[in-house]
Structures are given as C-alpha cells and as structure tokens.
Amino acid sequence: MTDDLYAGWLSEVLAGYDFAEGDYTITPLGNGLINRTWLVQYKLSSYVLQRVNSNVFTDPKALDQNLSMIGNWLAKNNPAYKLHLPIPNTAGLTLVSVADGHYRLMPFAAGSHTIDVVAKPEQAYEAANAFAGFTSALSQFDATQLHETIPGFHNLSWRYRQLTGCITNAIAIRKKVAADWIANAEANADIVDTYYKLSSAGLLPTRVMHHDTKISNVLFNAGGQQMGVIDLDTVMPGLFISDVGDMMRTYLSPVSEEEQDFGKIEVREDIFAAIVAGYTGSMGNQLIALERGLWFYAATFMVYMQAIRFLGDYLAGDTYYGARYENHNLVRAGNQFTLLQRLLEKEEILKRHGANA
C-alpha cells in the first residue's frame, strides 16, 4: 500500500465494504488538484477511492445527495445511460465519514483512459459529445432540486464584484504591478453586462450542468471514443454557457493557463468547430435558438471569468490558488487575458463556425 499518510484511514473506509486487508492494493490515481484519489484493486475487480476535499466542497453531504438523486432518477427513467456513481458500503452509505474526512468508492471503468491535453479535433468532438450527452440524459430531471455544491461558482456578476473588492483592498504595490491587467478587466466588462442580462431575465433554461468540463474528466476507450464523464462533484443547476465555455477555455489553446510564454497562446479554429459539432450531436434538438447563438460568447464568458479570478487572487495576496513563484497568479491572469484577446481577434470566423451548427 502506498501513501502512508492516509493508509490507516483508507483501511478503515475499505473495511466498511468488507474488503479484507491484505486482499487489496492501493495506488495513487490521477493528478487532480482538488480531491485525493486512489486505485483500489481487490481480488479481480478495480475501484476508484476518493477523499472529498471539504475545504472546497464545504457540504459533502449535499454533494452526495446530488449524486444519489441523479442516480435514482436515471435508474428509473433513463437506465440505458450509465454513470460511475459511488457504491454503497455494507451500511448502505455512499459517503463514508471517518475522523480524517469523507470518502466514497466508485467502480473503475475497465478499458478506459483519460487524457490531459486536447491534441486533435476528434478528441474535442468526443468530449463535447460526452458532456452534452450527460446534460441530455437528464433533460427531464428537475435541475432545481440539486444543491449548489460551490455557491456562485460560475456567477460572473458575483465574480466581478469580488474583483472590484480585491482592487479596492489591494496593497499599493500589487495594484501598481497589476495595473495593465486591471485596465483590461475593466475594458472587457461588457462580458459581465451580457451575463447579467442573460441570467437575471431568465432567458436561458436551467439545466443539469457538469461545470468542470476539462478533457481529463472524460473517459476514452482504446479507439478514442468517449465512454462517459467523471468527476461529478460540481454537477449543479446551471446554464449552457458554463459547460461549453469551460471546454472552449481549456481546449482551444494548445497550451494551458500555466504557460508563461504568451506567444504560444492561440485559438485553434478546428477545435472550436469540433466542440460545436460534438455538443450539438447530443444536444442539438434540445438547444433553444438563443443558446445556439452563444457559442462564441460562452468562450469569452469563461475565459474572462477565469482571468479575473486569477487577477483577484493576485491582488488579495494569493490566498485561494496559491503561488509557486513570484507573481504566479498575475501570470495566470495575463495568460487568460491573452487568450481572451486571441478569441476577440477571431470573433467573426468563430461566430460563423457557431452559425453553421
């Protein structure tokens, strides 16, 4: 068994599933930044064991209730659609609480793998198709029943108010160093205005959205076809622009938000078109006309929101994301503002890709 820091707690959790110590092995799995995850191999079966980060998800029980509601509804109304949901232990609990925290055990999808970076349009298509398929499978489920597991997560109006507070309270030197990016945030605040109009007027349907649509949250088979989505902690009521926007933000550029050489940041038009095609492939008939006109806005919405979150954290002293080097969050903010500029430079052609969907 690896990861000695957690070894005792993992054994206690697995005992609740009647897994006898000595009959299983545990190895760390994945590189997620939020929850800690392990692969458990017990006899001839494999499982995913995960410790919920209660600093991020402050109400783990609400998270567990969301998954239970979704799982029960699918079992009754759409049993053909499969999700990798927590398995109940011998006491019937899908969220196991021990002194160290909260854990859950899920089946491991045999023959599956994940990827970290979108290398070609086919991958973007499959991922978009998977996330749209998830929302489509739950189209008749009342999304308002779900708990908001991270309050205000994609509320751009609130995020902008956070930024203005950070600007007001920032120490002088940080405000001076960040002056150009603060000006950039203010110059593009029309993105916030559009969000406010869309959300406050209820112009977009509230749907069951994943809210964390990076490519590593999609399972692929050996042939490159999607096998479904994972990491369901951020599943909440939400809007079309959240999932589509997060895919645009994390798929379009060949480099990540950590890239310090902004010259490497670009918007790949073929990836944009693949996201649109993949999403409409599963959700096309369910999207309203207004949603179909928001492909480009969804990209700017999410890129801008992440840019101001990084900027706000820099101004606040790196209290949320942390920093591995001086001005790390300012670099991240600049990266995202640069990606936003690249999007705006291609606005006309990207909107044509969206109009062809």
- Model confidence pLDDT, tens digit, residues 188-219: 999 999 999 999 999 999 999 999 999 999 99
Q: What are phi and psi of 46, to 5 degrees?
A: -120, 145
- pLDDT tens per residue across span 154-170: 999 999 999 999 999 99
Q: What is the CATH number of the domain that holds 20?
A: 3.30.200.20
Distances (CA, A) of 47 to 65, 87, 165, 193, 230: 21, 10, 44, 45, 13
Q: For residues 13 and 85, state if they share a domain.
A: yes
Number of domains in the chain: 2
Nearest CA among 128, 126, 113, 96 for reference residue 30: 113
- pLDDT tens per residue across span 91-150: 999 999 888 889 999 999 888 999 999 999 999 999 999 999 999 999 999 999 999 999
Residue 142 falls inside a structural domain: yes
Q: Tell me the one-letter amino acid at 252.
A: L
pLDDT at 5 over 80: no
pLDDT at 27 over 50: yes
- Tell me what pLDDT residue 32 has: 59
Q: For residues 305 and 182, state if they share a domain.
A: yes
Range of the domain at 81: 7-107
* Greatest Cα-to-Cα distance within the chain, rounded to the nearest angstrom: 61
Mean pLDDT to the nearest integer, 69-80: 96
Q: For residues 100 and 164, state if they share a domain.
A: no
Q: For residues 39 and 140, state if they share a domain.
A: no
Q: For residues 193 and 67, state if they share a domain.
A: no
Q: Grade residue 224 by pLDDT with cuts at 50, 70 and 90.
A: very high
Q: For residues 329 and 248, state if they share a domain.
A: yes
pLDDT at 33 over 70: no
- On average, the pLDDT of the chain sits at 93
As a whole number of angstroms, the distance between CA 205 and CA 112 comes to 33
Q: For residues 241 and 314, state if they share a domain.
A: yes
